[in-house]
Structure 1
């Protein structure tokens, strides 16, 4: 009898296994301390195969950043229903953000801590993700403000700074929530929504935020 042939794993699946292992290693150990040997062992492949697929440690780290950034932005956008009022969309977007960062703490560590401290190449990848999130939040706040004030021509620049502040606060709060036992995504989102609602008082109508 001939030898039994095993089915080869598709390249895309193998790459995702490598990225899973790399995100876990980079997120928990840091970029400098992470080794390709450790990542290969965790992924269940040889180190030469990791290099064959992803070229270098830098390229592997960049691929991790891009994958985690895409997953986060998709989670936030996917959590928002466009048929709801703008304030509710903002609430749902925040809750989706905190739910995703809580469910993927290693990925959030890669984006929030590691990528920003190990060179411009990596930091620029995160900056692109952040710009997309700020633009998304800006539009939600603009719509909410225009609806509340019945002013369809309210300039976007009046809320641009608030969107920057809100995204920055969300980043810091997610990092805190991920290391603070018992903090849920809903609690984190409620904290930030109340903070945002106070800041939006001049643009909206001063109503306190309440999750209906």
Structure 2
């Protein structure tokens, strides 16, 4: 069997094990058995449990970033259409790979260097969203200084909300909203507010 096929089988089994049991409790014996290979072969290909977990994290990171990029690649489409397509792609991907979502969530709390991989992924996706929001603000004639100050924060908030919704959906066992419905909820939440911002409408606290 080609090396890349065996490695994919190992990573599939490892992602499932790390998602189900966590990094510390996942067993290399169980991973090897689930992958249909010997334990020495896992170590031959991926050296250690640490390297195996990192390979899982990096695979899930690259798959998610590629999905978002592909979903927002209609360069001639309006910014809201691109963002909508990107969100649908994001939630479709995370619904199809719930174990991957869990592994990335675990990696954030596992310490370095795993957490850094997830933070770098978030920065890449946030930059995609920031560019779309900035273009929408520019197209709407929003004040450039105001747009520059607020768009970055809005992009971070949107990505954080998307991650949280994906993790929440991962716990509903198919009983929650569909990927399209989740994307629509977040789109309504963010774009309606952004539309008001671009028209110069601002919320201000009443009283103290």
TM-score normalised by structure 1 residue count: 0.88
Alpha carbons 2:142, 2:199 under 8 Å: kept: no
Q: Cα offset for 1:179?
A: 1.9
d(CA) in 2 for partners of 1:129, 1:56: 23
d(CA) in 2 for partners of 1:205, 1:103: 38
1:84 to 68, 77, 80: 77
Q: Cα offset for 1:198?
A: 3.3
Aligned counterpart, 1:43: 35
Alpha carbons 1:138, 1:156 under 8 Å: kept: no
1:143 to 116, 135, 138: 135
1:189 to 170, 173, 183: 183
Q: Identify which range, 151-160 or 79-88, moves more after superposition.
A: 151-160
Alpha carbons 1:19, 1:63 under 8 Å: kept: yes
Spell out, residue by residue over 1:70-108, the C-alpha distance to the aligned partner (whole angstroms, 9 max, x if none).
000101111122221011101111111100000000011
Partner SS, residue 77 of structure 2? coil
Q: How large is the RMSD of aligned CA atoms in angstroms? A: 1.6
Aligned counterpart, 1:175: 167
Structure 1, unaligned runs of 5 or more: 1-8, 207-212
TM-score normalised by structure 2 residue count: 0.89
Q: Structure 1 or 2: larger helix share?
A: 2
d(CA) in 2 for partners of 1:31, 1:160: 33
d(CA) in 2 for partners of 1:25, 1:50: 14
Alpha carbons 2:84, 2:187 under 8 Å: kept: yes
Partner SS, residue 156 of structure 1? helix
